[in-house]
């Protein structure tokens, strides 16, 4: 039986505290910063550069603020031998475990309606099977499950006979958990262990108290009120079409996969087997940025505080900086000296990532149709110094200071074209700068260019994007 794959991928894409490229020296004092639209050119350059440097088949990244969503994509929906179709900013991405925040949010909505409590126990929700539960599982709460501190390990999923995994997700969950909860937990309650099984069980709780399928409750409590129309269970692409109508996931060797090869059993859907467009994902993320939703009063500030507050201590006592802490569906980390909400997700053929700065009410979203190379591409984009300055509400760095001087501070300052070529090439702009020296191409040794012309060139370039 194949292993269940979706999980909280390592946060390599967010290099916390890492030294950024020596591109600029932004003033650390927070000031009113540029809008998302004003940095579209930077985002586009970063996305193209990441795709070209890593070779990931396709990717999309987006910046979200109080007023705007700016999304840029690069690459293909599917690598050869599929017919080449561009990966579009409007395409669906597989959310993987980034969906966990949505499952937790549905629980919050039910708590607000008085249908559920954060401290509701398994014995209370499932009184019919409580007598056969191991005593340690009877006292496990909703909060324990959503914070990965229930003692339920993903290892138990590997022991499920394939015959029990047939049918709808609701049928699978109702059939499997009475058996899994009979044995002792893998860990004491309160011990952190990332658990897709725990979120699948949270989905079963939602179904029991709602007397409805998880997917129907998600439609009623999440996608409907937020105006989300593109949510799809499973891989983004329609399995009945030979030519992909949406991006396909890829294995580590870059081979496109069929939709049926891309995902895990429907029984663990609440842990993250859904796809949606970046624009729809942003509607959900805006809620957790503290911004108004399509439905006024969608969720209370008190519920958001509960969802965003870490439970217990560090997730890794030996290396607390790894994942830092976990709240309910969100990782909580210190990034750039501030608390950020983050999550990543992968089914081994996709990678998704989200980072929110609650103070600035700005967010970064990312999706790629390959995990291994997509992870490297996410590092390039998410750690672009201009985009990080934007996320943190700080002044944008001045452009193209490759001399160590403030651009324009030296009236006749000059930049050697060898340095210029290296800088432009790192941003996939080598050919675009040829007019600066009057050469057909920017090659090392072509001479020098006036620094003021260089800055003017960049400003013209970005204005044209």
Distance CA 265, CA 160 (A): 12
- Mean pLDDT computed over 230-253: 89
Residue 86 included in any domain: yes
Assess whether pLDDT exceeds 90 at residue 297: yes
Are both 441 and 336 inside the same structural domain? no
CB 12 within 8 A of CB 375: yes
Are both 420 and 332 inside the same structural domain? no
Q: For residue 161, give every residue at least 6 positions away whose Cβ sits within 8 Å of its Cβ, in sequence order, or none.
A: none
CB 207 within 8 A of CB 166: no
* Per-residue confidence (pLDDT) for residue 109, from 0 to 100: 98
Are both 304 and 425 inside the same structural domain? no
* Per-residue confidence (pLDDT) for residue 392, from 0 to 100: 94
CB 449 within 8 A of CB 440: no
Residue 282 included in any domain: yes
Distance CA 273, CA 55 (A): 25
Which of 298, 325, 348 delimits the end of a domain? 348
Question: What number of other Cβ atoms are within 10 A of residue 371's Cβ?
Answer: 23
Assess whether pLDDT exceeds 50 at residue 189: yes
Are both 427 and 284 inside the same structural domain? no
Closest CA to 384 of 24, 12, 9: 24
Assess whether pLDDT exceeds 50 at residue 346: yes
Are both 437 and 299 inside the same structural domain? no
Between 324 and 151, residue with greater pLDDT: 151
- Mean pLDDT computed over 346-372: 96
> Which DSSP letter does residue 337 get?
T
- Mean pLDDT computed over 20-29: 31
Assess whether pLDDT exceeds 70 at residue 221: yes
Q: For residue 399, give every residue at least 6 positions away whose Cβ sits within 8 Å of its Cβ, in sequence order, or none.
A: 24, 407, 455, 458, 459, 462
Please, how many CA atoms are within 13 Å of residue 377, restricted to the half-sphere of its CB? 35
Between 172 and 80, residue with greater pLDDT: 172
Question: Which phi and psi angles does 8 have, rounded to 5°?
Answer: -85, 90
Between 362 and 18, residue with greater pLDDT: 362
List C-alpha distances in Å: 249 to 81, 236, 237, 274, 370: 14, 9, 9, 13, 6
Q: For residue 221, give every residue at least 6 positions away whose Cβ sits within 8 Å of its Cβ, in sequence order, or none.
A: 105, 106, 109, 110
Residue 38 included in any domain: no
Residue 20 included in any domain: no
Are both 279 and 419 inside the same structural domain? no
* Per-residue confidence (pLDDT) for residue 417, from 0 to 100: 55
pLDDT interval class at 409 (50, 70, 90): very low
Q: Are strands 274-277 and 325-326 parallel, antiparallel or unpaired?
A: unpaired
Listed in sequence order, the DSSP H helices in 224-273 are 224-226, 269-272
Closest CA to 197 of 140, 130, 262, 115: 140
Three-class HEC string of 134-161? CHHHHCCEHHHHHCCCCCCCHHHHHHCC
* Per-residue confidence (pLDDT) for residue 456, from 0 to 100: 60
Q: Give pLDDT tens digits for 137-156.
A: 999 999 999 999 999 998 88
Are both 229 and 121 inside the same structural domain? yes
Between 134 and 84, residue with greater pLDDT: 134
Least confident window among 79-83, 170-174, 300-304: 79-83
pLDDT interval class at 61 (50, 70, 90): very high
* Per-residue confidence (pLDDT) for residue 447, from 0 to 100: 52
Which of 326, 348, 370 delimits the end of a domain? 348
Are both 306 and 429 inside the same structural domain? no
Into how many domains does the chain fold?
Answer: 2
User: Of the ranges 133-142, 327-336, 378-387, 389-398, which is most confident?
Assistant: 133-142
Residue 115 included in any domain: yes
Which of 300, 323, 348 delimits the end of a domain? 348
Residue 301 included in any domain: yes
Question: What number of other Cβ atoms are within 10 A of residue 312's Cβ?
Answer: 14
Are both 91 and 220 inside the same structural domain? yes
> Which DSSP letter does residue 377 get?
H
Distance CA 30, CA 395 (A): 7
Residue 200 included in any domain: yes
* Per-residue confidence (pLDDT) for residue 341, from 0 to 100: 96
- The percent of residues in the chain predicted with pLDDT above 70, rounded, is 76
Angle between helices 451-463 and 40-54 (to 10 degrees): 90
| CATH number of domain containing 225 | 3.40.710.10
Are both 236 and 114 inside the same structural domain? yes
Distance CA 353, CA 78 (A): 20
Angle at 182 between CA 124 and CA 212, to 5 degrees: 45
Alpha carbon 449 to chain centroid, angstroms: 41
Are both 324 and 438 inside the same structural domain? no
Question: Which phi and psi angles does 23 have, rounded to 5°?
Answer: -100, -25
Distance CA 361, CA 367 (A): 20
Secondary structure of residue 260 in the 3-state scheme: helix
Are both 326 and 431 inside the same structural domain? no
pTM for the model? 0.82
Secondary structure of residue 438 in the 3-state scheme: coil
Radius of gyration, CA atoms only, the chain: 24
* Per-residue confidence (pLDDT) for residue 458, from 0 to 100: 63
Assess whether pLDDT exceeds 90 at residue 309: yes
- DSSP-assigned beta bridge partners for residue 411: none
* Per-residue confidence (pLDDT) for residue 158, from 0 to 100: 79
Q: For residue 357, give every residue at least 6 positions away whose Cβ sits within 8 Å of its Cβ, in sequence order, or none.
A: 335, 338, 340, 363, 391, 392, 393
**What's the domain range around 422?**
414-463
Distance CA 324, CA 326 (A): 7
Residue 406 included in any domain: no
Q: Give pLDDT tens digits for 71-126.
A: 999 999 999 877 899 999 999 999 999 999 999 999 999 999 999 999 999 999 99
Q: Give pLDDT tens digits for 262-277.
A: 777 889 999 999 999 9
């Amino acid at each position: 039986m194949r292993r269940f794959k979706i999980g909280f991928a390592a946060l390599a894409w967010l290099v916390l505290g890492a030294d950024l490229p020596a591109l600029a020296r932004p003033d650390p004092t927070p000031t009113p910063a540029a809008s998302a639209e004003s940095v579209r050119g930077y985002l586009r350059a970063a996305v193209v550069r990441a795709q070209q440097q890593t070779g990931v088949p396709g990717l999309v990244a987006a910046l979200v603020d109080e007023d705007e969503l700016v999304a840029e994509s690069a690459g293909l929906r599917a690598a050869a031998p599929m017919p080449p179709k561009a990966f579009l900013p409007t395409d669906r991405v597989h959310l993987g475990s980034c969906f966990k925040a949505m499952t937790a949010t549905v629980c919050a909505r039910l708590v607000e309606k008085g249908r559920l409590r954060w401290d509701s126990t398994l014995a209370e929700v499932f009184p019919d099977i409580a007598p056969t539960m191991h005593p340690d599982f009877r006292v496990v709460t909703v909060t324990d499950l959503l914070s990965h501190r229930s003692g339920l390990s993903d290892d138990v999923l590997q022991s499920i006979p394939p015959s029990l995994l047939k049918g709808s997700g609701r049928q699978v969950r109702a059939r499997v958990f009475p058996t899994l909860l009979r044995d002792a937990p893998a860990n004491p309650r309160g011990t952190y262990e990332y658990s897709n099984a725990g979120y699948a069980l949270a989905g079963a709780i939602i179904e029991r108290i709602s007397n409805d399928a998880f997917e129907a409750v998600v439609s009623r409590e999440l996608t409907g009120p937020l105006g989300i129309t593109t949510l799809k269970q499973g891989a983004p692409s329609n399995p009945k079409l030979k030519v992909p109508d949406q991006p396909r996931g890829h294995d580590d060797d870059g081979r496109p996969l069929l939709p049926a090869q891309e995902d895990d059993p429907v029984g663990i859907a609440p842990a993250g087997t859904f796809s949606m467009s970046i624009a729809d994902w942003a509607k959900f993320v805006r809620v957790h940025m503290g911004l108004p939703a399509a439905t006024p009063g969608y969720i209370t500030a008190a519920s958001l505080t509960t969802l965003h507050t870490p439970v217990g201590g560090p997730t890794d006592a030996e290396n607390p900086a790894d994942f830092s802490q976990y709240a309910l569906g969100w990782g909580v980390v210190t990034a750039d000296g501030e608390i950020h909400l983050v999550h990543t997700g992968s089914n081994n053929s996709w990678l998704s990532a989200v980072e929110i700065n609650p103070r600035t009410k700005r967010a970064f979203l990312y999706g790629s149709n390959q995990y291994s190379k997509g992870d490297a591409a996410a590092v390039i984009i998410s750690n672009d110094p201009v985009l990080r300055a934007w996320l943190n509400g700080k002044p944008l760095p001045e452009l193209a200071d490759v001399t160590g001087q403030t651009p324009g501070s030296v009236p006749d300052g000059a930049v050697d074209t060898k340095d210029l070529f290296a800088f432009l090439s790192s941003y996939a702009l080598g050919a675009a700068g040829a007019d600066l020296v009057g050469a057909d191409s920017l090659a090392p040794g072509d001479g020098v260019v006036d620094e003021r012309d260089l800055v003017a060139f960049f400003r013209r370039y970005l204005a044209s994007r």
